[in-house]
Structure 1
Amino acid sequence: MSDTTRRKAQETLAMVEEVTGTILPDPNPATAIVPLDQADAGLGAEITRRMAELDMSDTNSIVSFGSRAQAELQTISQAMLTDVRNKDVGPAGDSLRNIVSTIRGFSVSELDVRRERSWWEKLLGRAAPFAQFTARFEKVQSQIDKVTEDLLGHEHKLLKDIKSLDMLYDKTLAFYDELALYIAAGEAKIAELDSTTIPAKEAQVQAAPENDQVIKAQELRDLRAARDDLERRVHDLKLTRQVTMQSLPSIRLVQENDKSLVTKINSTLVNTVPLWETQLAQAVTIQRSAEAARAVRDANDLTNELLTANAKNLRDSNKIIREEMERGVFDIEAVKQANADLIATINESLQIADEGKARRAAAEAELKKMEAELRDTLASAKARKTGLGDTAGTAVPRA
């Protein structure tokens, strides 16, 4: 709730206490109508003055009899209706329900910062749980501010309505009493007509000449019709007075309801809304503390992991380094292998040399053999040329 709204609510508190502290009197008006012959001097004068408003020869005078008393009441009622039409009024109860719905819609489960976002939330790019909660909190705060301003406006309107209903009650009560005077005046006039005026007119009709009796008889008939109209008008005034009497407790009931609602609204503005805001602020602070604690825990876990990893790396490195330090320039196994390979190489070289020597000796013997064969062949070829060779006598005889 903004500071301005809070200040206005505190300022309105005095008005609310003044209105709610006023005890409304019970709407129990006097129901008896005092006849003219039983009224005291002052009341009798008022009844007589209203009787004087009647003109039995004027129909409008009978029809409008008692309507002047309602004029001021109509002015007050029309002013209230105009005020209702001109102002933007929504039920204050709806505003209370809206603010309750807003608070209830604030999901505390969103405060769980350890909750992993679903794949759907990640796909839609939704904010992390705490970021989403913070945004929701700001939205709820703005909604609370708006509803509290609406409630403050309803409170002012209800206070004005309560005072207007006081005026309406006083005017309605005055109208109720005024109707009693008009009813008493009408009944007194009817009694006067029945006991004096109409009998006198009947006597005039009887005493009138024959040529004037028709006119006098019509006047008597008109007088009797006016008397019946007045009787019906008085009956309507009695019904109006009964309805007016029923409206008095209705006005008080509306006032009591408005006073209760004003008290509830002011209590909500002054006490409940700040309490809600305090609780919401605490929720945010608690979650921020939890988030900070989690960050500290993660940092500590990282430190421990680094220490453990470094110790393991140091152990592994130290082992490798120490092993290398303790090794000789050449490993004995490598020297032994190299010596064995060298001996094998020498032996192979001697073997290959012996084999080559044998192959050369065999080749030399083979060469000597081939040389002897070649020499013998050449010698044989020379003997054939001289005819002394082994082929003599073998030539083909001439034909």
Structure 2
Amino acid sequence: MSQTIQQKAQADLAMVEEVTAVALKEPTEASEVISLEAADAPVSAEIRKRMGELDMGDTNSIVAFGSAAQAELQTISQAMLADVRNKDVGPAGDSLRDIVTTIRGFSISELDTRRKQSFWERLMGRAAPFAKFTARFETVQGQIDQITDNLLKHEHTLLKDIKSLDMLYDKTLDFYDELALYIAAGEAKIAELDSTDIPAKEAEVNAAPENDQVMKAQELRDLRAARDDLERRVHDLKLTRQVTMQSLPSIRLVQENDKSLVTKINSTLVNTVPLWETQLAQALTIQRSAEAAAAVREANDLTNELLTANAANLRENNKMIRTEMERGVFDIEAVKQANADLIATINESLQIADEGKAKRAAAEADLQKMEGDLRDTLAAAKARKDGLGDTTSTAVPEA
């Protein structure tokens, strides 16, 4: 809220206290309808004065009886209505709701940057919560200034209305008392007509010559009709007085509401709005602190992750390197395996050589046997030649 508006609100505080301290009068026993016979001298004089306004021969005087009492009241009411028609003013309560809505627009949940955006926010492509919060705060100061200025205008209007309602209440109460005098005057006049004027006119009709009786009888009927019109007018005044009596607490209720609203508006301008602005500034600072703390926390978390990851990697790599460093050029198991394979290879070679030698020896014996068998066969064949005449070409020389 700007300094100018706050100074105006402070200046209006005395005026607010002044109008709210005004006590309205209450209807008294003097406001009751008192008959002419029971009234004291001053009231009796006032009643007779109003009776003098009646002319039973003039219908207009009966119709207008008591209307003069409402003239000043009507003037005030018309002035208030004209003032309302010439203004373009919304309810002051709307401004209060506007400022509350403006403040409540900063939802605490929206300050949580870790919350998920709603479907509607994602659909509309709204900004991140903190960016939205910051953007709102950048414009809310101007909004508050505009709203508080409107509240100040409503306050001035309500102060004017309260003073007008004071006058309206006083004039309505005067009208209420004035109606009592007119009702008493009307009833007194009706009683006078019933007891004096109408009987006297009836006597005139009876005493009049026959050719004048028709005229006198018409006058009697006119007097009685005027008497009935007056009775109806008095009844209307009684109804008007009852409605006027009901309007008194209505005016007071409206005025009390206006006074309460003026007090609330002034308290909002002087006390509440500066407090809201302070709280908004704190909310922004707290949010920024939370953002900074979150950034520091993330940096610390990253550092810790790097430390633990590097330590784990160092341990694993060191284990692998030291293991390789402590190994020989050849693993003993590999040497053992190679030696065993070599021995097995030599043994297999010797075994195969022995087997080959044995096979060759066996083959040699077989060859000698086959050779012997062949000689024997050839020798037998030669002998048969000598005895049977075989050719010598098949003979085998002796060894």
Q: Verify same fold: TM over 0.5.
A: yes
Cα deviation for residue 366 of structure 1 reads 1.6
Aligned length: 376
Q: Which residue of 1 aligns with 2:356?
A: 356
Distance 1:361 1:68, change over 3 A: same
**Which shows bigger deviation, 57-66 or 242-251?**
242-251
CA distance in 2, matches of 1:156, 1:265: 10
Q: After superposition, what is the alpha-carbon deviation per residue over 1:311-363, rounded to whole angstroms, capped at 9, x for unaligned?
A: 34334433433443344433455445434433443333233223222222222
CA contact (8 A) 2:56 2:226 kept: yes
CA contact (8 A) 2:204 2:216 kept: yes
CA distance in 1, matches of 2:365, 2:275: 126
Cα deviation for residue 58 of structure 1 reads 2.9
Q: After superposition, what is the alpha-carbon deviation per residue over 1:172-204, rounded to whole angstroms, capped at 9, x for unaligned?
A: 234335435544654665577568755664564
Cα deviation for residue 260 of structure 1 reads 1.4
Secondary structure at the residue paired with 2:220?
A: helix
Q: Which residue of 2 aligns with 1:251?
A: 251
Q: Which residue of 2 aligns with 1:212?
A: 212
Q: After superposition, what is the alpha-carbon deviation per residue over 1:57-103, rounded to whole angstroms, capped at 9, x for unaligned?
A: 23333122122432453454456567389968669399669949995
CA distance in 1, matches of 2:365, 2:332: 49
Q: Is structure 2 residue 299 aligned with structure 1 residue 302?
A: no
Distance 1:321 1:95, change over 3 A: same
Q: Which amino acid in structure 2 is aligned with residue 330 of structure 1?
A: F
Q: Is structure 2 residue 96 aligned with structure 1 residue 92?
A: no
Cα deviation for residue 286 of structure 1 reads 3.4
Q: Which amino acid in structure 2 is aligned with residue 351 of structure 1?
A: Q
Q: Which residue of 2 aligns with 1:395?
A: none
Q: Is structure 2 residue 45 aligned with structure 1 residue 18?
A: no
Cα deviation for residue 251 of structure 1 reads 1.9
Root-mean-square deviation (CA, aligned residues, Å) is: 5.1
CA contact (8 A) 1:172 1:244 kept: yes
Q: Which sections of structure 2, spanning at least 5 residues, go unmatched?
A: 391-399
CA contact (8 A) 1:16 1:159 kept: no
CA distance in 1, matches of 2:387, 2:280: 143
Q: After superposition, what is the alpha-carbon deviation per residue over 1:28-49, rounded to whole angstroms, capped at 9, x for unaligned?
A: 46426696993499x76x964x
Cα deviation for residue 219 of structure 1 reads 0.8
CA distance in 1, matches of 2:370, 2:201: 196
Q: Which residue of 1 aligns with 2:179?
A: 179
Q: Which residue of 1 aligns with 2:70?
A: 70
Secondary structure at the residue paired with 2:31?
A: coil
CA distance in 2, matches of 1:62, 1:34: 19
Distance 1:14 1:347, change over 3 A: same
Residues 1-399 of structure 1: pairs in structure 2 closer than 5 A: 3=1, 11=8, 14-15=11-12, 17-22=14-19, 23-28=22-27, 30-31=30-31, 38-39=41-42, 48=49, 53-74=53-74, 76-77=76-77, 80=80, 83=84, 92=93, 99=100, 103=104, 155=155, 158-180=158-180, 182-183=182-183, 186=186, 198=198, 201=201, 204-205=204-205, 207-241=207-241, 243-276=243-276, 278-279=278-279, 282-283=282-283, 285-380=285-380, 388=388
Distance 1:291 1:139, change over 3 A: closer
Distance 1:279 1:371, change over 3 A: farther
Secondary structure at the residue paired with 1:57?
A: coil
Cα deviation for residue 302 of structure 1 reads 3.0
TM-score of the aligned structures, taking structure 1 as reference length: 0.68
Q: After superposition, what is the alpha-carbon deviation per residue over 1:117-154, rounded to whole angstroms, capped at 9, x for unaligned?
A: 7xx989x9799xx9568868989998x96998997786
**Which shows bigger deviation, 297-306 or 277-286?**
277-286
Cα deviation for residue 263 of structure 1 reads 1.3
Distance 1:210 1:137, change over 3 A: farther
